[in-house]
């Protein structure tokens, strides 16, 4: 049983990994060399080939975290696998939210003339990042796997429910504060060129595959990490028992020395 679960994904992963790699390389080549320069934004617009897929991936990842959390909370579908999925997806979401913000800032500097604008979408995204950073911190809190799974499932759902409220309040606040249309009109990038459209779609597809790949890998790792403490403890007990047996035959001094050895192994 355990060998099949260990081996099955390992066999399929290289194919998926190669596909992801090819997709990313193709996106880079298309985005940097084949797609033409934008008449208004010049080369800066090329950042969108990364920004848009990253944004899509972040929302996808947080959506999956919420669904997996819900599935864990429903008693009929409760399984630790949903917790691994929620955790893996949450981590990827945080990473790509940060990437989206960073790339967006790099783009905003030449186009808007500033790194950051207190615009509704940006502010919501920043709070989103912190919401899920908290979620990840909660996951690392310790306790039994079941404790962690329940807590993080509740937190994952709460964070997800909070997102629309944050967005609603922030957009309300931003429109009251400043002219949103300045940024909105510039944030709309009309992509008409077919090679630009294709590159954008390619980027989204490649990033989606990347998400699936990272998610599978991370879930495997989480599953392995889970049993690690138990296995290490078992190994230490085995070592110690071996040490005591061999030590008993050759004297007390050696038994003392072997008592320390499991710690170093």
Partner 1 sequence: MMQLLRDARLVCAKDLRIEIRARIVIAQVLPFGALVLILFAFTLDADSSVLPTIAPGLFWITVLLSSILAVGRSMAIETDNGARDGLRLSAMDGGSIFLGKVGAVVAELLVLEVLLLSGTFALYDIAARGWLALIATSLAATIGIAATGAVYGALAAGAKVRETLVPLLVLPVCAPVLLGATKAFESALHGRSGEAWPWIQLLGVFAALYLTAGFVAYEALLEEA
> 191: which DSSP letter?
-
Per-residue tokens: 134: 């908290």
Least separation in angstroms between residue 226's CB and partner 1 is 17
For residue 38, list its beta bridge partners. Answer: 42
Least distance in angstroms from the C-beta of 127 to partner 1: 5
Give the other-Cβ count within 10 Å of 101's Cβ.
20
Evaluate whether 100 touches 62 at the Cβ level (below 8 Å). Answer: no
Which lies closer to partner 1 via its Cβ, residue 115 or residue 173?
173
Q: State the Cα–Cα distance between residues 196 and 180, nearest whole angstrom.
A: 27
Nearer to partner 1, 166 or 215 (CB): 166
Residue 143: DSSP 8-state: S
The residues facing 42 across adjacent strands are 38
Give least dist CB 131 to partner 1, A: 5
Interaxial angle between packed helices 80-112 and 48-73, expressed in degrees from 0 to 180 and rounded to the nearest 10: 150
Rounded to a whole number of angstroms, the minimum distance from the CB of residue 237 to partner 1 is: 26
Q: CA of 114: how far to CAs of 47, 49, 82, 110, 174, in Å?
A: 16, 20, 41, 7, 17
Q: Which positions touch partner 1 (CB under 8 A)?
A: 127, 130-131, 133-134, 137-138, 141-143, 146-147, 150-151, 154-155, 157-159, 161-162, 165-166, 168-170, 172-173, 176
Smallest distance from the beta carbon of 109 to partner 1, in angstroms? 25
Taking the complex as a whole, how short is the minimal distance between the CB of residue 95 and partner 1, in angstroms? 17
Which one, of 53, 55, 79, lies nearest residue 68 by Cα? Answer: 79
* Of 131 and 219, CB closest to partner 1: 131
Using the minimum distance from each CB to partner 1, give the nearer residue, 141 or 257.
Answer: 141
**Given the complex with partner 1, which of 140 and 192 has the nearer CB atom?**
140
CB closer to partner 1 out of 149 and 216: 149
């Amino acid at each position: 049983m355990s060998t099949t679960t260990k081996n099955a994904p390992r066999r399929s992963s290289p194919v998926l990994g190669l596909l992801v790699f090819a997709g990313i390389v193709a996106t880079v080549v298309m985005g940097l060399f084949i797609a033409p320069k934008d008449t208004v934004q010049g080369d800066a617009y090329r950042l969108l080939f990364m920004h848009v897929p990253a944004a899509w991936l972040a929302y996808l990842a947080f959506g999956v975290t919420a669904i997996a959390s819900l599935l864990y909370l429903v008693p009929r579908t409760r399984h630790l696998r949903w917790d691994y999925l929620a955790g893996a997806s949450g981590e990827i979401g945080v990473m790509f939210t940060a990437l989206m913000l960073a790339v967006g800032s790099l783009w905003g500097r030449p186009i808007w003339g500033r790194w950051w604008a207190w615009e509704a979408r940006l502010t919501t995204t920043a709070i989103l990042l912190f919401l899920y950073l908290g979620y990840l911190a909660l996951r690392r809190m310790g306790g039994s796997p079941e404790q962690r799974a329940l807590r993080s499932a509740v937190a994952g759902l709460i964070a997800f429910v909070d997102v629309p409220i944050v967005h609603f309040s922030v957009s309300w606040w931003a429109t009251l504060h400043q002219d949103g249309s300045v940024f909105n009109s510039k944030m709309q990038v009309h992509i008409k060129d077919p090679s630009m459209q294709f590159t954008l779609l390619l980027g989204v597809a490649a990033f989606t595959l990347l998400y699936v790949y990272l998610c599978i890998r991370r879930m495997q790792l989480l599953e392995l990490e889970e049993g690690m403490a138990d296995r290490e403890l078992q190994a230490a007990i085995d070592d110690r028992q071996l040490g005591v047996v061999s030590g008993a035959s050759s004297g007390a001094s050696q038994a003392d020395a072997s008592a320390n050895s499991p710690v170093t192994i």
